[in-house]
Structure 1
Amino acid sequence: MHSVSSSETPWLKIMTHLRPVKEPDQPRPWQEVDRYLRHNDFLNLRKKEIVYKEWLKDVLEPVLQKIEDEMGSQSIEEMQKRKQEQLSQYLNYCNKKGYVFLDYFDPSEYDPFSQKTCTDCWKNESHQSPQ
């Protein structure tokens, strides 16, 4: 066994009585920056939420209301009649053409607006081009 010399004793006493360094009361600069960034992220998210709520109230709800009003104004008989007319137009086109494929079409024959019906509801002052 090794004996502890008297010259080592003061060093051991100092090492055994060391206390951890106390954290300062002032927050560190990066903690402040982190806190600021988290708060900024929260505020940006809140702004997006407010903009979405305003858009929902000012844009989406009126459009959905117009769609519901238009759909509610049509009777079931009118919808069935329109559906039957569109089906007969499609069948007549298929019989005349001989084949219809979605992946191949002739641009000279293709008219995407051939099935449009009742566009009078969209013809009001707010949707017309200025003259």
Structure 2
Amino acid sequence: MGSVNSSEGPWLQRFANGKPVRKPKRQQPWKAAPDQSRDIIASVQCILDRENFVREVDRYLRHSDFLDLRNTELLYKKYLEDVSEPFMQKIKDQMDSQSREEVQKRLQEQFSQYLNYSTKKGYVFLDDYDPSEYDPFFRRRAQTAGR
């Protein structure tokens, strides 16, 4: 038997009843007891299940965003086909049906009416005008009445 400072190592602390008392061995993680290994495996499986769930939720959200974007694209395409393009075609047809001279004449007429009214009154405000003297919405009302 050796002393505490002998080459047997630090685990030998003292002698009790003539036998050395040793520190309990630390269990090495790769040599876990069967109960502990089952607990570890269950914990790891739980973590993996959560990660898989998060992956699936992320995948679902990306797919949902893609479907929303696609739906928006289809709605825009339908709007273009059903509303915007026919409307633009009607405007183009209306513009093509009038000659440049007619448009110029109508604009000069409206401008002269405006100038006469503003010279007579001294001011022109849309919220304060007399439709019998000057109606800035005359063309708009005439067009809507013809429909």
Same fold (TM over 0.5): yes
Structure 1 unmatched ranges of 5 or more: 16-20, 124-131
Shift of 1:116: 2.8
Which stretches of structure 1, 4 residues or longer, exceed 6 Å deviation after superposition?
Answer: none
Alignment TM-score, normalising by the size of structure 1 = 0.65
Residue of 53, 61, 75 corresponding to 1:51: 75
Q: Residue 61 of structure 1 aligns to a residue in which SS? A: helix
Shift of 1:100: 2.7
User: Amino acid of the residue matched to residue 85 of structure 2?
Assistant: E
Q: After superposition, where does 1:1-131 map in structure 2 within 5 Å?
A: 5=10, 14=28, 24=48, 27-101=51-125, 105-106=127-128, 109=130, 111=135, 113-116=137-140, 119=143, 123=147
User: Amino acid of the residue matched to residue 65 of structure 1?
Assistant: Q
User: Amino acid of the residue matched to residue 10 of structure 2?
Assistant: S
1:18 corresponds in structure 2 to none
CA-atom RMSD in angstroms: 3.5
Distance 1:99 1:120, change over 3 A: closer
Q: Residue 116 of structure 1 aligns to a residue in which SS? A: helix
Structure 2 unmatched ranges of 5 or more: 1-8, 12-21, 30-43
2:37 corresponds in structure 1 to none
Structure with a larger share of its residues in helix: 2
Distance 1:75 1:31, change over 3 A: same
Shift of 1:115: 3.8
- How many residue pairs are counted as aligned between the two chains? 112
Whole-Å separation in 2 of the counterparts to 1:71 and 1:121: 19
Percent identity reads 52
Shift of 1:26: 8.6
Name the structure, 1 or 2, with higher relative contact order (CA <8 Å, separation 6+): 1
Q: Residue 10 of structure 2 aligns to a residue in which SS? A: coil
